[in-house]
Amino acid sequence: MKRGGSSVVDLEEGWRFVAAGIAKIRRAVEDDGEVSSLPIMELYSTVFFMCTQKPPHDYSRQLYQRYKEDVDSYNKSTVLPSLRDIQGEILLRHLVERWRKHEWILKLAGTVFRYPNRYYIPMNSLPTIEQVGSTSFRELVFNELKNSVTKTVIGMVDFEQALFCKSYSTKAQTWILEYSHPDYMLKHYYRTILDNLSLPGYLDPAVISFHCWVVAPPGSDRCARPRQLLNQL
């Protein structure tokens, strides 16, 4: 946004512009649209001006708090309702896909709020903009769905239980409760598949295809994400 003749960006006017820009970023990512045309640098400049104005017009604290409230509202009103009525393996797949998109949104938001991320936030020992968004997703989305996800993963394990050690279902449940994000949960899920193989050559293509289906949408390289996770183990 352009600065007025007073060269001071008003809090309400500036926040309306920033909030509308963040909403555009979310819509573009959710729709798998083009993000290069988004006004990222204009949003960054607005935040920069609002954080570097002389007191009492330095709005670093207010912007930080409003972003936190905005991302919480987005997760409660948009993300969680989109997943709440889904069950089983489809829920797990959609949850992971939502988290991937949320990570991309947070990366772009981090660019918009780069200045407070570098100065105001560390000076006040606060979580970064990305950490605020990550925590919001964990507490308001993932934790709400944790019980359903637990049942789904245990159900996936049960039909193969003869091939794993008997304690696997208990371990799976413990990990889901312990680890917050879907990617981390899946990483340990695949690690356990490797650690608890009881038959030589167990990881045959049919089994890999089943687990790949859970974390990748139709039409994509269904084993791409599991390969990435396994390569990190």
Sequence ranges of the domains in the chain: 1-145, 160-233
Peptide bond before residue 56 is cis, with ω within 30 degrees of 0:
yes
8-state DSSP, 103: H
Q: Which long-range contacts (CB under 8 A, 24 or more apart) does 212-215 make?
A: 213/89, 213/93, 214/89, 214/92, 214/93, 214/156, 215/92, 215/93, 215/96, 215/186
pLDDT of 4 over the 60 cut: no
Per the listing, tokens 């598949």 go with 193
Rounded to whole angstroms, how far apart are CA atoms 121 and 114?
Answer: 10
Other CB atoms within a 10 A radius of the CB of residue 172 amount to 21
Percent of the chain with pLDDT over 90: 45
Q: Is 219 helix (H, G, I), strand (E, B) or coil?
A: coil
8-state DSSP, 163: G
- Amino acid (one-letter) located at 142: F
Give the chain's mean pLDDT.
76
8-state DSSP, 57: S
Q: Is 2 helix (H, G, I), strand (E, B) or coil?
A: coil
Rounded to whole angstroms, how far apart are CA atoms 139 and 141?
Answer: 6
pLDDT of 88 over the 90 cut: no
Q: Does CATH number 1.20.1310.10 belong to domain 1-145?
A: yes
pLDDT of 14 over the 80 cut: yes
Other CB atoms within a 10 A radius of the CB of residue 211 amount to 19
pLDDT band (50, 70, 90) for residue 163: very low
Q: Is 161 helix (H, G, I), strand (E, B) or coil?
A: helix
- Pick 210 or 75 by higher pLDDT: 75
pLDDT digits (tens, 9 = 90+) for 26-82: 999 999 888 888 899 999 999 999 999 999 999 999 999 999 999 999 999 999 999
Residue 71: Cβ-neighbour burial (10 angstroms; 0-12, 13-18, 19+): buried
Of the candidates 91, 93, 87, 101, the residue with the CA atom closest to the CA atom of residue 213: 93
